[in-house]
Chains A and B, each alone.
Chain A
Amino acid sequence: MPIYLYLNRATALHRLHPAVKILALFAVFWSIYWLDNPAALAPLGLMLVILAQVSGSWSNFYRLRWLLILIVFFTTLVWVLFYRQGPPLFRVGPLPISRASLEFGFGRGLKLAELIATTILFLSTTRVEEFAYGLAWLGMPHRIGFAITLAFRLAPLFIDSALDVVAAQRLRGHDFGRGGPIARMRGYAPVMVPVFMGALRKANNMAMALEARGFGHTNRPTSLAEYRLRPADWVGLAALGALATGSFLAYWLGYGAIKLTH
């Protein structure tokens, strides 16, 4: 079961410094945050589409297409219920639906989908090791960074182990899809216990192996992979700065907001 989103490509986005990629994630989040109007969000969406093309990440976007579509649809629905502004266009039972509520809801849906698309792009172009390196470069303590990296590495092993247990339980006749939500949730206990026990058995050995290799000897360990800031990284940082400033200016000048007509 493929769970990592990373795609090994030799593109300019892949080659960026890990810390620049993390800063890019925050800069794009910041830029999307200030905009509510779907028309103002559209250029950012277009930018993400172009970056997906440039970085060869389409397969991941295709894999998660239903997530993105459902997020737009259900977020629009939720905000149509909660955002009751502007003159009603029509009514659904007692609920007035206005152009503003539809626009606001769709804007929020688009905003969430763009935020998620940004992380898909980030994960498609960044290895776990690069992510940990970037966090350490930005000042995260080594031990916390190590725990995050180890968790990323262990999760697929535990997933494989859980899927093996699911297959074994199915062979014994266990039906995970039977019954209501409570019965189905309880049905997962026979999967989790063996996975949990396997993990506990690993804990002691893993701690001893780590200490035998000098883990904890220093809080600033060296890294096998070294990354340097190159001219392309500085160009990227400048572009991100311009994007973040432009988005805030759009908000400040009122272009990013939804205009209510009473």
Chain B
Amino acid sequence: MWHDTRMVVLCAISAALYAAVLIPFKVVPLIPGVTELRPANAIPIVCSFLFGPAAAWGSAIGNLVGDFFGGAGPGDFFGFFANLAYGFLPYKVWEAIGGRHSPLDRSAAAISKYIFTCFIASLLCADVVGWGDNLLGLRPFAVLGNLIVFNNMLASVVLAPFLLAAIYPRARAGRLLYGDLMPQEPPLRRSVRLYGLFLLVGGGLLAWAAGNLISAGYWLPAFLPGTMLHAPYSGVVAVVVSPPLALAVLGACLL
């Protein structure tokens, strides 16, 4: 992707668009100083369907740019990778399950697949940020892990379809879709991609459930030494949440 100048430009444009909507338009604070309803979260989804890998990097860089305008912390290191996943998964999951549907289709099957795709992207994004922030002991997984899924899904379901309906046909007409710009590598076998999807969904859900239960103190595995079993549970999160999260990331790589 980085060898194609137009993809580099589209990456920068995706990043700038994300940051440009992120910075001034913070609609309703969910936890003041922590997070707010962000209409900008629709941008990585829309860009992912249009620009593919350029949007994935654009989403990561855009979040970084947005954070840099308002002050960032070490948690934003994880935010970079979480947003990379949030921009990477929509087009990759859609390629695996979308079949003959376009993301603009309004059939029940296409809408279900779209919602599922957005949910998986939101889930992995939330897992990475929640895991990273809890690992550093900055904020509990249960706070950010759930808010991010809610926030991303709201933008993906409420706002992104309108943007896609208006922009996707024009980008297709202008031959700016990633399929038109980049030579397509032959995809992995369908069975491998479905196995990857299985790992992604299973690992993502397990990491999310374990992160929530551990950080809230509802489940503390008995096999761990007592010295680890105290808030903020950073060690427990590292030992228990990391393996399913690694499986989810492996699954994403197989898509």
Which A residues have a C-beta under 8 Å from some C-beta of B?
Answer: 1, 3-5, 29, 33, 36, 64, 67, 69-71, 73-75, 78-79, 82-85, 104, 108, 111-112, 115-117, 119-120, 123, 141, 143-144, 146-148, 150-159, 161-163, 181-182, 184-186, 188-189, 191-193, 195-197, 199-200, 202-204, 206-207, 210-211, 215-216
Residues of A within 8 A of B16 (CB): 150-155, 157-158, 199
Complex: A178 Cα to B27 Cα, angstroms: 11
Which B residues have a C-beta under 8 Å from some C-beta of A?
Answer: 2-3, 5-6, 8-13, 15-17, 19-21, 23-25, 27-28, 31-34, 37, 39, 42-43, 46, 57-58, 61-62, 64-65, 67-74, 136-140, 142-143, 154-155, 158-159, 162-163, 166-167, 170-171, 174, 176, 215-217, 230-232
**Shortest Cβ distance from A5 into B: residue:** B69
Q: Is the CB of B231 within 8 A of A84?
A: yes
Q: Is the CB of B167 within 8 A of A33?
A: no
CB of A192, distance to nearest CB on chain B (Å): 6
5 A-B residue pairs with Cβ-Cβ distance under 8 Å, sorted by A, are A155-B65, A186-B158, A199-B16, A202-B13, A216-B5
Residues of B within 8 A of A74 (CB): 31-34
CB of A75, distance to nearest CB on chain B (Å): 7
Q: Is the CB of B71 within 8 A of A182?
A: no
Q: Give me the 3 closest cross-chain CB pairs, A-B, nearest first.
A: A70-B33, A154-B16, A158-B20
Complex: A234 Cα to B33 Cα, angstroms: 36
Most buried by A among B2, B9, B39, B68: B9
Selected from B43, B67, B68, B154, the residue in CB contact (under 8 A) with A182 is B154
Residues of A within 8 A of B34 (CB): 71, 74-75, 78
Complex: A104 Cα to B137 Cα, angstroms: 11
CB of A134, distance to nearest CB on chain B (Å): 13
